[in-house]
Amino acid sequence: MQNRDILISGASIAGPSLAYWLRRHGFHPTVVERAPTPRPGGQAIDLRGAARRVAERMGILDQVRQAHVGTRGMAYVDAANKRLASMPADLLGDSGGAIAELEILRVDLVDILYQATRDDVEYVFDDAITELAQGEDGVKIRFQGGQPRRFDLVVGADGLHSGVRALAFGEESTFVRHLGAYVASFTTANHLDLEGWELLHNVPGKTAGIYPVRQGTQATAMFFFTSPPLTYDRHDLDQQKQLLADAFAGQGSQVPRLLEAMWQAPDFYFDTICQAHVGRWWRGRVALLGDAGYCGSPLTGLGTSMSLVGAYVLAGELASTPDDHQAAFARYQDQMRAYVAACQKLPPGGVKGFAPQSQAMISLRNLSMKLMTVWPMRNVLAKQFHKADGITLKEYAA
């Protein structure tokens, strides 16, 4: 087999998923990850539509179900935590609705994928690609902390701020579009009797929330606020925490208590709400997968689905013509193009729908949410998330 040795940058969801399928097809994948271990933290994520079928084919769906967070629905509340509008998780079936029936913490899915691949995939932690040079016979890689190595192909599965994309395709600003908001999350104590419900509180331009995880034994705090682009160091967590504290200073509900807990949180996450649009997902022997190539933003709720499905398709197409990676990369994008385009479409209202800009718009959004629970308005919501089924998965011989 040609193109046998494949380097994957990123050990979150897309990278290990691709490694799994590549091994099934007889390739030799190596996964390099900048962090010293599989990355902790992150919000609850949904498995919807075709992604569930991929997980089932991987043999991990039962594990995913066992690790589901147990969220029963979401509700908007006022400053006294009185419910203003609510939506159950099973409103549109187990793949529909703003909250899917099957949610799992990102860290738990990462661990499931890592455990499924660690015995027959080479993992290199605490390292990163600093240089890559493509040639007719492969790609020469220089690592931050190791000896130079050669691989047949390289896949950037290293997220929105992809280092592989920067090295092989160009500056991040060329491909990443800021949508006018920021998001933060961290683990905290479940100090409310949430009973499986995610509670969200709005003030104009800002949303703060808390939802139970691990069957209610813990909780995740979530913050979302609109803002023009901010200047900050992506590796300075204290600076990011201060930005969040300043943005939500003086707010009511559970916000003060959550912000106080933020300073001790071991898994604080902060980032811009963005989308990535790369015209062609490969250049020579380097391809992009998941958020690195087609991030849809947390607003779509379909990023995990695109990563799992993309890994399945990319590995299958490489296995179909292992001696012609260019044709395989082209078929991978052809198979995924319409699915990704649909999944990247923002729900009605976009950023302002999740963080309305005035009290009047907040009231209107709450009314709209109530209407979503009855026909025919629920079809508007169903349309957003039924896109997760918008691809027919080919059968690839293992």
Model confidence over 241-298: pLDDT tens digits?
999 999 999 887 789 999 999 999 989 999 999 999 999 999 999 999 999 999 999 9
Q: Nearest to residue 121, comparing CAs of 10, 42, 45?
A: 10
173-197 residue pLDDT tens: 999 999 999 999 999 988 777 778 8
pTM: 0.92
Q: Would you state the structure tokens that stand for residue 362, as one six-digit string? A: 């907040």
In a domain, 384, yes or no: no
Write the pLDDT tens digit of every residue in 85-117. Answer: 888 877 655 544 455 567 888 999 999 999 999
Q: Please give the residue range of the domain that contains residue 294.
A: 5-66+105-175+275-347
Let me know if residue 243 belongs to a domain.
no
* pLDDT, tens digit (0-9, with 9 covering 90-100), for 343-368: 999 987 888 888 899 999 999 888 88
More confident: 152 or 398: 152
Q: Is residue 393 part of a domain?
A: no
* Mean per-residue pLDDT of the chain: 90
Is residue 263 one of the residues assigned to a domain? no
Task: Provide the percentage of residues in the chain whose pLDDT is more than 70.
Answer: 93
Q: In terms of Cα–Cα distance, which of 160, 129, 123 is closest to 38?
A: 123
Mean pLDDT of the 307-323 span: 97
Any domain includes 211: no
- Token pair, residue 283, equals 């250049």
Residue 93: the pLDDT is 56
Predicted pLDDT of residue 96: 47
CATH number at residue 36: 3.50.50.60
Tell the residue number behind the tokens 């209407």, with chain if given: 371
Distance CA 272, CA 46 (A): 20
Dihedral sign from CA coordinates of 333, 336, 338, 341: negative
Would you say residue 218 lies in a domain?
no
User: Does the residue 270 lie in any domain?
Assistant: no
| pLDDT value of residue 95 | 46
Residue 224 inside a domain? The answer is: no
Structural domains of the chain, count: 1
Q: What is the number of alpha carbons within 13 Å of residue 60 lying toward its C-beta?
A: 25
How far is residue 303 from each of residues 200, 340, 355, measured CA to CA in Å? 22, 9, 20
